[in-house]
Amino acid sequence: MNNSHLEKLADTILSRIRRRPGRPVSIKSLSRSLKIEAGEIRAALTVLKTLGYKIRHRKETITFVAAPDSLIDTEIAYQLATKVIGRRIRAYRSVKSTNDIAAQMAQGGEPEGTIVTAEAQTAGRGRLGRVWHSPAGSGVYVSIILKPSFKPDLAPGLAIMTALALAEAMTVFTKGEVKIKWPNDILIGGRKAAGILTELSAEKNKVEHVIVGVGINVNHRSEDFPAELQKIATSLRIANRRKASRINLLKQFLRNFEKEYRRYQKGQLATSRKRVLRFSSLLGENVELRFGNKTVSGRVVDIDATGALIIEKDGIRRPVTSGEVSVVKA
Ligand code: BTN
């Protein structure tokens, strides 16, 4: 919200009044210190209220009451305190897919760390050509632009690194059991609560950009999911039996992501591997892994520093870097 003069003014007023939540600020003093008419302050307040800010307005004073739980740039940026990730924010109401917009922007020169968010997606994409159900106002849909200097073969670990940052962020918002289902699903109580779609563009063995897309089911009720997903999907709201703050969850994730990404660039998953393993839902399980028309089966014994799943069968250990895993019950 910082295009027009009025929007800039609304931003300035917001930062003044939210420093003292619950405490009235006089319109006269604002008008004097900002060198503007009281009428302009009133117009800026209308902008803020339209965005969902709760502001008490008495004749001579205004009081900050609460911010909306909306994915708007001002709220995402507020006290985010990251250095790279989310320093530039493109927040939309509704888009086809934030991953597509982020990819176009990355191609157009947008720097590493820029994020694209949306309140709703009309053509949200999941892995393997699936649809990512993205209703308005209940989920977090975000894509992060990365321009890493490593070779494309190191990219698979990024999904696991992202999953770790996400699982740890979600743990802050629920007492439910949060797990990572390699390579890109986050489960709560065994049901899918978030997914990650990493898409890479490379030329001549050099990564041009990677788009890390994350979809989180936050305030969905069971009936908000299509019938075929109701038994396998969940949300923080379903797990907690109350709503969670989408904006705080997004910010927690971005902060975690920045830390993990910095570590990852230095030594892939080496320093975070123990935590990855602690969150892993597949460790020790007998699984079947499909990629293309091939199937591999065995017991999951490890996730290595590149993010590969290590499967053991007949005493032989094999690393697998992609595929669709299902647990085989004995
Ligand atoms: C999956 O579990 O299959 C991955 C889901 C990824 C969904 C996110 S939502 C934000 C970003 N934009 C998309 O179109 N997809 C990802």
Give the model confidence (pLDDT) of 63-81 as tens digits: 999 999 999 999 999 999 9
Find out whether 140 and 214 touch, Cβ atoms under 8 Å. yes
Find out whether 134 and 91 touch, Cβ atoms under 8 Å. no
- For residue 312 the two structure tokens come to 């053991």
Q: Which residue has the higher pLDDT, 253 or 307?
A: 253
Residue 1: pLDDT over 60 = no
Q: Indicate whether residue 132 lines ligand 1 (CB < 6 A).
A: yes
CA distance 194 to 249: 12
CA distance 172 to 252: 9
Q: Indicate whether residue 191 lines ligand 1 (CB < 6 A).
A: no
Give the model confidence (pLDDT) of 4-50 as tens digits: 888 899 999 999 999 888 899 999 999 999 999 988 999 999 999 99
Q: Indicate whether residue 97 lines ligand 1 (CB < 6 A).
A: yes
pTM of the model: 0.94
Find out whether 273 and 305 touch, Cβ atoms under 8 Å. yes
Q: What's the confidence (pLDDT) of residue 3?
A: 56
Model confidence at 153, pLDDT cuts 50, 70, 90, reads confident
Atom of ligand 1 nearest to the CA of 134: 9
Rounded mean pLDDT of 251-268?
93
DSSP letter (8 states) at residue 218: -
Model confidence at 206, pLDDT cuts 50, 70, 90, reads confident
Find out whether 133 and 194 touch, Cβ atoms under 8 Å. no
- What domains can you pick out in the chain, each with its CATH number? 3-66 (1.10.10.10), 73-279 (3.30.930.10), 286-327 (2.30.30.100)
Q: What's the confidence (pLDDT) of residue 253?
A: 98
Count CA atoms closer than 13 A to 114's CA, side-chain side: 21
Q: Indicate whether residue 157 lines ligand 1 (CB < 6 A).
A: no
